[in-house]
Structure 1
Amino acid sequence: MTDKRKPVRVWCDGCYDMVHFGHANSLRQAKALGDYLVVGVHTDEEITKHKGPPVFTEQERYKMVRGIKWVDQVVEGAPYVTTLETLNKYDCDFCVHGDDITMTADGIDTYHLVKAAGRYKEVQRTAGVSTTDLVGRMLLMTRGHFKQGDSEYSIDREPSANMGQDRSARSPWTGCSKFLPTTQKIIQFSDGKSAQPSDKIVYVAGAFDLFHVGHLDFLEVAKKEGDYLIVGLHTDPAVNRYKFGNHPIMNLHERVLSVLACKYVNEVVIGAPYEVTKDLMEHFNVSIVCHGQTSIMPCENGADPYAEPKRQNKFKLLNSGNDMTTEKIVERIILHRLEYENRNLKKEKKELDAYEAFTRSRKSQLLE
């Protein structure tokens, strides 16, 4: 007997600014509640009005959400307040959001309409990461320890005047991640499919820090070089050696999940060696090793990390046409530092006020 059950269509929406594994995990959980996942992404204008300036443009954010493996459809310019009309327009049965607080500039719950109609479901937010947290990590770089010795970025060693004091030591976005990686989480993010004997295997390696549109476009063109794409992620000390300063901004385990969530990636090597050796290529049966347009730092002994694949005539430089880098993202934050500091402080205060109001309401209910 054939299954004639109507597919369950799920709606998610948000800013999806600086898309990270927390966003991906929320979308993974949402997709598990149905069959087809529709994701609405807000415009820059809406985000600026209700939350503060986004780090990425709306076009960049649309592309990043489309790159997440669990997303079936992206709706551009979704309204900030989720309405029943929106759910009905896209034939979605219900809306899904994390268990954190999302409000308009006026302090109104953006999901109050769908909650009242019983068309709202909640999934667990990923602890230890948020866009606010990641912006905060980059803001700490402006305290004089990003690219040390480079006067262009060595700014504001003292607390900024409008903040009164340097809050970084006790702020929840200090950059000390609370994320606790588990094997279960990696399994949930992995597609679990091994390469087939006939597959042409492509290998790329790097930091893939603050996973962004530049990474996404590069991985898309890399995947086209074969059938099965393996991404080698360098350890935190290795990344720090060739990027210096406070890099990486995200630790190895965070970077693993961010890359695994990408629909072009089949497998990740956690803590891959910096040098692509003959043993590594044989172990994964690599057909071709690719690298983007970023400069290649020699190994600690001065050797070319891609000497072996070049010797085997299995090395290819790729040009994705996108020159976005992690450093450029940090520059965006630094250039608009005060705006993002104020954004983070406002968001923290608004959420704290809402949480205290919720706590008071619960206490009064219990006393009745």
Structure 2
Amino acid sequence: MLEKPNFQNGAKSTRVWCDGCYDLVHFGHANSLRQAKALGDHLVVGIHTDEEVTKHKGPPVFTFEERCKMISAIKWVDEVVEGSPYVTDLEILNEHACDFCCHGDDITLTDAGEDTYHKIKEAGRYREVQRTPGISTTGLVDRILAVAEKTNRKELAKSPWTGSSKFLLTAGKIVQFSQGRPPKEGDVVVYVVGAFDLFHVGHLYFLEKARELGNYLIVGLYSDQVINRYKGDNHPIMTLHERLLSLLACKYVSEVVIDAPMAVTKDLMEWFKIDVVAGGRFGVEDGADSDDPYKYPKEVRKFVEINSGSDVTTEKIIERIVKNKLEYMERNEKKEKKELDLINEMEKKQEWKQTS
């Protein structure tokens, strides 16, 4: 029985608990939380501390504060619990009046190789959703190291959970993530444009401040080819489709323009009825087209420069991983080995059942 039942309009509401490391927060995390929210009315998400993550998986790339901020900005999340235990138990569910815990159909293990959800599974308060194939934090770390070293990507595909096979986007997935509305008459429409590669807290603070300039935020998203032209060296790390879902999952974003032009023209502003164009204090990326992409909105006095207050960039995220390369490589290998050991054990048990 729940210790603190919840009621909405006289009827008991269903509170769903999710927890995790949520490192290098990506659209796979968002998709899991989207599915979890669909199982109830209120989604509570617990986030493990850096110390807990380091003990059981290895050092996180994003800091604890960054991970909490990123998860709180996913539009399906209602509440964040900071510092939740790595092994989920009934006490944490009861403390937050949650009916059950939800997780993807991969298995999360402790440093000792134990299923972190075994206690609530035994109590019958566990639900499962589908893991998003083709994306994982481990796989992203692998991509980043390949970009930094200018080598070809090494696919981690031995474990079906850690493996980072290519993500395939469908129209249905875009619809599931969008769930938006067109701008209404009287809305102040704000437009920003960029790469938004390895979606991070710097992007998030920028979008949050951009949204404050109006009440409908459109994000223009550069194509992979445009980013590669001005950044080169295997960029972008995440494909256009992956970056699209990361933006659509953000609660500050109302709409995304796919394969947006670099220049914000008069035609573009009139087409989308844009009132304000915002840009970051870092300006146009080095190597980009020499013409100022904000020339027209500046001429008509509809451009605002935003200081996000964060110095986190995609390049600095890459630097973190390169600086601790050996630790992250060991983390990836350790995680995959534990998963493969568990898979082998599960297969042996299945074979024993079939022959007995």
Structure-1-length-normalised TM-score: 0.90
Query: Is 1:317 matched up with 2:302?
Result: no
Deviation by residue 1:34-75 (Cα, 9 ceiling, x = unmatched): 000000000000010000000011111111110100001100
Query: Is 1:58 matched up with 2:46?
Result: no
Query: Is 1:236 matched up with 2:221?
Result: no
Q: Say whether the 8 Å CA contact 1:139–1:341 is kept in structure 2.
A: no
Count, aligned residues: 346
Structure 1 spans left out of the alignment, 5+ residues: 146-165
Q: What does residue 339 of structure 1 align with?
A: 327
Deviation by residue 1:164-199 (Cα, 9 ceiling, x = unmatched): xx9x64533999751110111011111221100110
Q: What does residue 119 of structure 2 align with?
A: 113
Query: Is 1:269 matched up with 2:275?
Result: no
Q: What does residue 175 of structure 2 align with?
A: 187
Query: Is 1:135 matched up with 2:141?
Result: yes
Q: What does residue 172 of structure 1 align with?
A: 157
Q: Secondary structure at the match of 2:291?
A: coil
Which consecutive aligned stretches of 4+ in structure 1 deviate over 3 angstroms post-superposition? 168-171, 173-177, 297-302
- Tell which deviates more after alignment, 96-105 or 358-367: 358-367
Q: Say whether the 8 Å CA contact 1:231–1:267 is kept in structure 2.
A: yes
Question: Equivalents in 1 of 2:247, 2:218: separation in Å?
Answer: 10
Q: What does residue 239 of structure 2 align with?
A: 251
Q: What does residue 150 of structure 1 align with?
A: none
Q: What does residue 355 of structure 1 align with?
A: 343
Q: Secondary structure at the match of 2:109?
A: coil
Question: Equivalents in 2 of 1:185, 1:305: separation in Å?
Answer: 31
- Tell which deviates more after alignment, 294-303 or 272-281: 294-303
Matched to 1:229, the amino acid is: L
Q: Say whether the 8 Å CA contact 1:31–1:70 is kept in structure 2.
A: yes
Question: Equivalents in 1 of 2:286, 2:86: separation in Å?
Answer: 47
CA 1:102/1:300 → structure 2, altered by over 3 Å: closer, same or farther?
Answer: closer
Which of residues 240, 260, 266 is equivalent to 2:248?
A: 260
Q: Say whether the 8 Å CA contact 1:274–1:299 is kept in structure 2.
A: no
Aligned-residue offset at 1:271:
0.8
Aligned-residue offset at 1:141:
2.4
Aligned-residue offset at 1:5:
2.3
Query: Is 1:200 matched up with 2:188?
Result: yes
Structure 2 spans left out of the alignment, 5+ residues: 1-7
Q: What does residue 35 of structure 1 align with?
A: 41
Q: What does residue 107 of structure 2 align with?
A: 101
Matched to 2:324, the amino acid is: H
Task: Name the Cα RMSD after superposition.
Answer: 1.9
CA 1:216/1:59 → structure 2, altered by over 3 Å: closer, same or farther?
Answer: same
Q: Say whether the 8 Å CA contact 2:150–2:234 is kept in structure 1.
A: no
CA 1:196/1:256 → structure 2, altered by over 3 Å: closer, same or farther?
Answer: same
Q: What does residue 91 of structure 2 align with?
A: 85
Aligned-residue offset at 1:143:
2.6
Question: Equivalents in 2 of 1:58, 1:88: separation in Å?
Answer: 24
CA 1:241/1:176 → structure 2, altered by over 3 Å: closer, same or farther?
Answer: farther
Deviation by residue 1:261-317 (Cα, 9 ceiling, x = unmatched): 001000001111111111110110000100112231489763211111111111111
Q: Say whether the 8 Å CA contact 2:148–2:318 is kept in structure 1.
A: no
Q: Secondary structure at the match of 1:330?
A: helix
Between the aligned residues of both structures, percent identity stands at 61
Q: What does residue 28 of structure 2 align with?
A: 22
Question: Equivalents in 2 of 1:300, 1:105: separation in Å?
Answer: 45
Question: Equivalents in 2 of 1:30, 1:229: separation in Å?
Answer: 26
Matched to 1:114, the amino acid is: I
Query: Is 1:67 matched up with 2:73?
Result: yes
Matched to 1:84, the amino acid is: L
Question: Equivalents in 2 of 1:215, 1:205: separation in Å?
Answer: 11
Q: Secondary structure at the match of 1:286?
A: coil
Q: Say whether the 8 Å CA contact 1:236–1:251 is kept in structure 2.
A: yes
Question: Equivalents in 1 of 2:88, 2:350: separation in Å?
Answer: 25
Q: Say whether the 8 Å CA contact 1:204–1:289 is kept in structure 2.
A: yes
Question: Equivalents in 1 of 2:241, 2:154: separation in Å?
Answer: 24
Q: Say whether the 8 Å CA contact 2:264–2:296 is kept in structure 1.
A: yes
Matched to 2:171, the amino acid is: T
Q: How does 1:220-235 map to 2 (within 5 A)?
A: 220-235=208-223
Matched to 1:89, the amino acid is: E
Question: Equivalents in 2 of 1:119, 1:253: separation in Å?
Answer: 34
